[in-house]
Amino acid sequence: ANLADGLANLADGLEQAGYAVSRAATGEEAIRICAESPPDLVIMDVCLPGLSGVETAKKIRQTSKTPALFLSAHDTEDLVKEAVADGGLGYLVKPVRLNQLLTSVKAALARAADIEALETTEEQLLVALKGDRNVGIATGILMERHRLTAAEAFETLRGGARARQRKLGEVAAEIVAAGETLSLPKSRK
C-alpha cells in the first residue's frame, strides 16, 4: 500500500502542477486508455501486472508515437537499455520525489517535441526530394557549397522561399539554373 500511495501522490502532484493525468493499474488498461485519448507522455512503472511497463510502452508507441518515462525500483543496466531502446525518454529509480518527476517530465516533453519536429522535417524533406527534382538538386547544391546536412540545406531552401514569399519549387529552380550557369565550361576561342 505504501508504494501505491507514493505513486498516487506523484499523480496528484502532477495534477496540481497543471498536467492532465490518467491512471492505469495494468499494462492492458494503459494501452486502452492511450488508444482512446493519446497522451503527450506516458509515465510507466517497469514492473506492471501482466505486460511489463516496457512492453506496454512499446505497444502504445506503435499506435500513437507516445513517448514514455519509466519508473523502477531497479536500475540494472540491461533494464535501462531496454527501456531507452524502446522509446523511453527517461528512467527514474524509485522512490521518486515530485520535484524530480516534474523536472523529468518537462525534459521528456521537450525532447519529445524536438523528436517530433525532426521527424516532421524529415518527412517534409523526403516528400520534397521525391516530389520535385529541382528541390532535390537545389538541396544538393546547398549541401555541397555550404557544407550542410540534407536537413539543414532543405531548411535553408525552405526559409529562403518563405522569406521571398515564393514557392519552394520556384526558388529551387533558380538555384539549379544558377548552379548550371556557374558550372558551364569556358568557351574556347
- Residue 121 included in any domain: no
Q: Are residues 92 and 20 in the same domain?
A: yes
Q: What is the pLDDT of residue 5?
A: 58
Q: pLDDT > 90: what percent of the chain?
A: 47
Q: Are residues 85 and 136 in the same domain?
A: no
Domain range for 153 is: 132-182
Q: Are residues 46 and 104 in the same domain?
A: yes
Angle between helices 53-64 and 77-85 (to 10 degrees): 10
CATH number of the domain encompassing residue 20 = 3.40.50.2300
Using CA atoms, how far apart are residues 58 and 153, in angstroms rounded to an integer? 33
Task: Say yes or no to pLDDT of 4 above 60.
Answer: no
Task: Say yes or no to pLDDT of 187 above 90.
Answer: no
Q: What is the pLDDT of residue 110?
A: 94
CB 11 within 8 A of CB 21: yes
Q: Output the CA torsion sign for 60, 98, 109, 107.
A: negative
Q: Are residues 144 and 105 in the same domain?
A: no
Q: List pLDDT tens digits, range 76-96.
A: 888 888 888 877 898 899 889
Supply the pTM of this predicted model. 0.62
Residues 6+ apart with CB under 8 A from 147: none
Q: List pLDDT tens digits, range 117-126.
A: 888 888 887 7
Q: What is the pLDDT of residue 59?
A: 92
121 HSE (CA, 13 A, CB side)? 17
- Residue 110 included in any domain: yes
The number of distinct structural domains making up the chain is 2
CATH number of the domain encompassing residue 176 = 1.10.10.10
